[in-house]
Amino acid sequence: MLYKIMSRETLVPNNHLFKVEAPAVARKARAGQFVVIMIDEKGERIPLTIADWDREEGSITIVFMEVGVTTRKLAQLKAGDSIANFIGPLGEPSHIEKFGTVVCVGGGVGVAPIFPIARALKEAGNKIISIIGARSKDLLFWEDRVREVSDSLTVTTDDGSYGRKALVTEPLKELLEGAEKIDRVVAIGPAIMMKFCAKTTEPFAVPTIVSLNPIMVDGTGMCGCCRVEVGGETKFTCVDGPDFDGHLVDWDLLFARQRIYIDEEKHAMECACGEVASHG
Amino acid sequence: MAKVDLNRVSMPKQEPEVRAGNFNEVALGYNAEQALYEANRCIQCPKKLCVGGCPVDVDIPDFINAIREGDMPEAVRILKGKNSLPGICGRVCPQETQCEEVCSLGKKGAPIAIGRLERYVADWELAQGEMEKPQIAKATGKRVAVIGSGPAGLTAAADLAKMGHQVTLFEALHVAGGVLMYGIPEFRLPKRVVQTEVDYVKSMGVDLRLDFVVGKTMTIDEILKDGYDAVFMGTGAGLPMFLNIPGENFNGIYSANEFLTRTNLMKAYLFPEYDTPIKRGRRVMVIGGGNVAMDSARCALRLGADEVYIVYRRSEVELPARREEVENAQEEGIIFKFLTNPKRFIGNDQGWVVGAECYEMELGEPDESGRRRPITKEGSEFMLDVDTVVIALGTTPNPLVPTTTKGLDVTKRGTVVADEKEGKTTKPGVWAGGDVVTGAATVISAMGAGKRAAASIDEYLGQQGG
Ligand SMILES: Cc1cc2nc3c(=O)[nH]c(=O)nc-3n(C[C@H](O)[C@H](O)[C@H](O)COP(=O)(O)OP(=O)(O)OC[C@H]3O[C@@H](n4cnc5c(N)ncnc54)[C@H](O)[C@@H]3O)c2cc1C
Ligand SMILES: Cc1cc2nc3c(=O)[nH]c(=O)nc-3n(C[C@H](O)[C@H](O)[C@H](O)COP(=O)(O)OP(=O)(O)OC[C@H]3O[C@@H](n4cnc5c(N)ncnc54)[C@H](O)[C@@H]3O)c2cc1C
Ligand code: FES
């Protein structure tokens, strides 16, 4: 089966948005879930979070950052092209209920997955305080979309080129120290950012949910590649998560396991670049 | 009558030194002359014990007789009358404990090499290029959903289609075939053989829907509501078991499912032509003693390992793997460490496994399985330096479907409750069979279950009227 790219857009350099025709996935998609895609029969299976969906149109929106061979190849596809395999919705949906006041933190490409969660939490009656961050202004996207579903929004950049010059953990800490009671924090972004968000909230004992991103293969609980340790127990991220209690995650294990194929990935990039060069 | 040769025709194989460096099929198959000679050893005894030894009742003496008479199309017809996947079964069935075990010749010498002849017939048909289309009954207007495209699902789908039902086959992965595609390696079961059999099932009008994870993309209850009259669940036993010992999540430690999926399904042995990577370990330890362990060890060797150990907690006689595959592994230089069990894994500061601390074991009284229970020798710990570990302890059914289906009972072991004769589950309109019911078993037993369930579903749909 082929899954057509209905439209595409480069949000900021190296970060792209695809709307893909996948009616069966769109029918069931919920905030916090992901898809596994394979570009062609020689491709790798990689997970990407569902950033949005349109049940009537039968479409799923994904936002991804170019980091290696697969995401690079994906970025080269045009509207009208197809992806060979698009599987989902996978993983447990995020826990949505009325908690009270929820802080939603999105970093880098993590702004895309935080959006549907913030929206669902907002619809459930929560007050949403959002913090989104990027390295610099030209890498920031979806400020408008996140603002729309938030009661307040703080934007940070590492270099101060836009919004506040800070890491997302600084405004987060201030909120926790402030007068308003914070009932829950949801943080999505690079693993290192999620770790520091969890470290920031820990002394305040505010439940903190993170969405883990280990390496995966099937995404259905069949291989154990995605195992992480949470509260001393081994979990399969693809079926038990991807959302977990950030205070209980063994972050060093996650970091180590994300690096398993670092040599192979480098080698593949060199080969792929060589190919591009020799083919014109 | 000439005296019967008590030895079977040996299987031509790639030489061990050669095959250890490639993923091509190890056993090359009989040629016409060898097949005829072997077929002529059959004494066509009236007892036909072999038929009783076959879980799907293949008319073994008849197809062997057709080979003898040079009527290959007839041999194909007889074989396929009972078994729609002969190219697969001829290669991977444990004939030594089934049809061949009871062969009359076995009392005096080597039993007829039934599996090799079965493969010969299937390969002959494949070489002809064109397959004879099976007869499809008149359309009944009934719709059946088959979930999982392993041997159980493929067999049920094929039989139901032949009976005239409209079948949709839902598969979670991006290819059909189940373990035959993602687990059993190319060098034992070439993927083109599986693909041919899958195409054959599709040629009967079965609608194959890949990338469809039942329980996620749609639940069984939703499928039933969507207008399907019955469901067959052949979702296998796909959940890997781990040892639950310290250090098990270090980098370089794989479940056999992951190791084999990367290697076979994703073709990591062809990386970077294919995009999926795998660690090519130098000193590899495989834990377990079944077919899965043998396959993992032999894949590791072909990926370029210097030393591959199979660590098994009992002794050689208890190895559950097929004898033939144990011998193949030994010939290729796999090192067996019997009566050994890992205690914990040691990692370096980067989180990579560098060794396993193991216990020596001894055998005690027989346990429930009838095999002697392995007992840890206290104080016997020793270190094995390894950079890759593959855990091949077995698998249990994935809870994804049971937990999303109302009224479907499972046992404590996670297997779906279904009656053995017909495959009926506790949920009306839903049948199950294969590894999801029995736990990890064999290709042929899964096929048998698919067949019986198809017959039961057909009967049920008939009673429902049109
Ligand atoms: C549940 C989940 C949701 C994700 N959602 C998004 C998203 O919405 N947008 C986005 O840009 N990225 C997302 N990722 C990460 C994304 O899957 C990886 O960036 C991608 O797989 C990289 O592949 P590559 O071949 O381009 O890069 P590579 O060069 O192969 O790898 C770069 C890095 O990506 C990670 N990675 C590599 N292969 C895999 C794999 N098969 N599975 C997971 N991670 C891998 C590794 O940590 C690696 O170091 C998500 C990951 C998970 C687990
Ligand atoms: C490495 C290995 C070697 C083996 N060697 C042998 C051998 O030599 N001889 C032998 O007889 N047996 C062997 N076996 C055992 C044999 O392969 C299995 O017993 C047999 O494949 C079981 O068939 P099945 O149809 O029940 O399940 P499977 O083959 O496991 O197929 C189940 C299918 O269902 C799909 N599925 C699961 N969940 C879902 C879902 N939610 N939605 C949609 N689809 C789903 C899976 O992706 C899979 O394709 C081996 C097994 C392994 C792992
Ligand atoms: S990705 Fe295979 S079990 Fe999670």
pLDDT in tens, A116-175: 999 999 999 999 999 999 999 999 999 999 999 999 999 999 999 999 999 999 999 999
**How far is Cα B440 from Cα A208, in angstroms, rounded to an integer?**
39
pTM for this structure? 0.95
Rounded to a whole number, what is the distance in Å from the CA of A279 to chain B's nearest CA? 16
B400: nearest CB among A38, A221, A224: A221
The answer, yes or no, to whether any atom of ligand 2 lies below 6 A from the CB of B405, is no
| Pairwise CB contact (< 8 Å): A223 & B277 | no
Burial group, residue A13, by CB count within 10 angstroms (0-12, 13-18, 19+): exposed
Residue A280 has pLDDT above 50, yes or no: no
**How far is Cα B100 from Cα B113, in angstroms, rounded to an integer?**
7
A90: nearest CB among B216, B352, B398: B216
Contacts of A223 in chain B (CB under 8 A): 240, 255, 257-258, 261
Length of chain A: 280
Which amino acid, residue A276?
A: V
For every one of its 466 residues, what pLDDT tens digit does chain B have, with 9 covering 90 and above?
Answer: 567 888 999 999 999 999 999 999 999 999 999 999 999 999 999 999 999 999 889 999 999 999 999 999 999 999 988 888 899 999 999 999 999 999 999 998 999 999 999 999 999 999 988 777 788 999 999 999 999 999 999 999 999 999 999 999 999 999 999 999 999 999 999 999 999 989 989 999 999 999 999 999 999 999 999 999 999 999 999 999 999 999 999 999 999 999 999 999 999 999 999 999 999 999 999 999 999 999 999 999 999 999 999 999 999 999 999 888 999 999 999 999 999 999 999 999 999 999 999 999 999 998 888 888 999 999 999 999 999 999 999 899 999 999 999 999 999 999 999 998 999 999 999 999 999 999 999 999 999 999 999 999 999 999 886 5
User: What are the tokens at B414?
Assistant: 């996670």
**How far is Cα A9 from Cα B117, in angstroms, rounded to an integer?**
58
DSSP code of A137?
G
> In this predicted complex, what is the ipTM?
0.94
- Residues B345 and B246: beta-carbon distance below 8 Å: yes
B351 alpha carbon, distance to own chain's centre: 34
Please, what's the b/e burial string for B387-417 (b: 16 or more CB within 10 A of its CB; e: otherwise)? bbbbbbbbbbbbebbbebbeebebeeebbbe
**How far is Cα A131 from Cα A121, in angstroms, rounded to an integer?**
15
Mean local confidence (pLDDT), A77-90: 96
| Pairwise CB contact (< 8 Å): A222 & B251 | no
B261: nearest CB among A88, A218, A259: A218
Rounded to a whole number, what is the distance in Å from the CA of B313 to chain A's nearest CA? 23
**Tens-place pLDDT, residues A46-71:** 999 999 999 999 999 999 999 999 99
Phi-psi region of B177 (alpha: psi -120 to 50; beta: other; left: phi over 0): left
**How far is Cα B173 from Cα B171, in angstroms, rounded to an integer?**
6
Residue A5 has pLDDT above 90, yes or no: yes
**How far is Cα B79 from Cα A172, in angstroms, rounded to an integer?**
70
Burial group, residue B185, by CB count within 10 angstroms (0-12, 13-18, 19+): buried
Distances (CA, A) of B435 to B81, B88, B371: 24, 17, 22
* Cα of B397 from ligand 2 centre, angstroms: 10
DSSP code of B129?
S
Q: What is the DSSP string of B380-426?
A: --EEEE-SEEEE-S-EE--TTTGGGSTT--B-TTSPBPB-TTT-BBS
